[in-house]
């Protein structure tokens, strides 16, 4: 397992940090990417002695940054990619400025595209097996009070299915769509929306970063070898489909 490298974006905090820790605990080596150098240094300190992690400061919305990263890691035995980096502004569509729309779309959509493209190119060229797990949201399936965020997360569902087709038979591509996850990002969700989610849940407890990480680890494993192009709802029965 030490020979299998997993790339995790948005690795410095929240869901990404928990995914990194779980990957390391299962014996994977991790390439942890984040735009926040301080958060990456803290991650390295928090996981010191627990496994092998390399940290890279990467701005996911810049294609050149992503290409430069893959040039540095191209000789590693890459196996997995977890597209997790994202931003949520918690704004009404009517209040969005043009630069804010670009900011959200560049991180939440283009970042996933850039990483998926570079990862796919490397593994398909070598004809080796791998897995991509994209982190979307229930907002991409049910809508969001923040229309730009909801749109960006809906786009990831389509990207996942298309990449599953384009990268077969070598790379499995799946998506995890959690409900509200107990991270700092949740502070931006309006109280009425939080209450609405909770009122609909069949399981009356918050989804945690650990819960998301557990699902990601399953999808990276051989136990998920027949899953590709699939969406994994992680919403405590809030919405039944």
Active-site annotation holds for 153: yes
Q: Are strands 171-178 and 231-234 parallel, antiparallel or unpaired?
A: parallel
H/E segment holding residue 8: strand 5-9
Q: Which of 28, 79, 88, 149 is catalytic?
A: 149
* Cα distances (angstroms) measured from residue 173 to each of 20, 80, 134, 161: 19, 10, 8, 7
Q: Of these residues, 52, 153, 161, 239, which one is catalytic?
A: 153
Strands, DSSP E only, in 62-129?
Answer: 78-83
Residue 71 annotated in active site = no
Contacts of 99 (CB under 8 A, 6+ apart): none
- Find out whether 140 and 186 touch, Cβ atoms under 8 Å: no
Q: Which of the residues are catalytic?
A: 149, 153
């Amino acid at each position: 397992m030490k020979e299998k490298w997993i790339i995790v974006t948005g690795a410095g905090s929240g869901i990404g940090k928990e995914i990194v820790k779980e990957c390391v605990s299962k014996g994977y080596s991790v390439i942890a990417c984040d735009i926040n150098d301080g958060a990456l240094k803290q991650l390295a300190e928090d996981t010191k002695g627990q496994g092998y992690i390399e940290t890279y400061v990467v701005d996911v919305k810049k294609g050149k940054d992503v290409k430069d990263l893959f040039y540095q890691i191209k000789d590693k035995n890459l196996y997995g990619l977890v597209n997790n980096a994202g931003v949520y502004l918690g704004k009404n569509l009517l209040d969005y400025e043009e630069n804010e729309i670009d900011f959200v779309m560049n991180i939440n959509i283009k970042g996933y595209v850039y990483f998926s493209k570079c990862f796919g190119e490397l593994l398909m060229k070598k004809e080796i097996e791998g897995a991509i797990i994209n982190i979307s949201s229930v907002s991409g399936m049910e809508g969001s009070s923040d229309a730009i965020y909801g749109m960006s997360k809906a786009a990831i569902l389509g990207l996942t299915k298309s990449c599953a087709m384009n990268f077969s038979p070598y790379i499995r591509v799946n998506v995890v769509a959690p409900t509200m996850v107990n991270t700092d990002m949740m502070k931006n969700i309006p109280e009425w929306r939080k209450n609405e989610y909770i009122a609909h849940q069949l399981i009356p407890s918050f989804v945690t970063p650990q819960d998301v990480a557990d699902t990601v680890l399953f999808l990276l494993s051989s136990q998920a070898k027949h899953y590709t192009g699939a969406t994994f709802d992680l919403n405590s029965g809030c919405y039944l489909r």
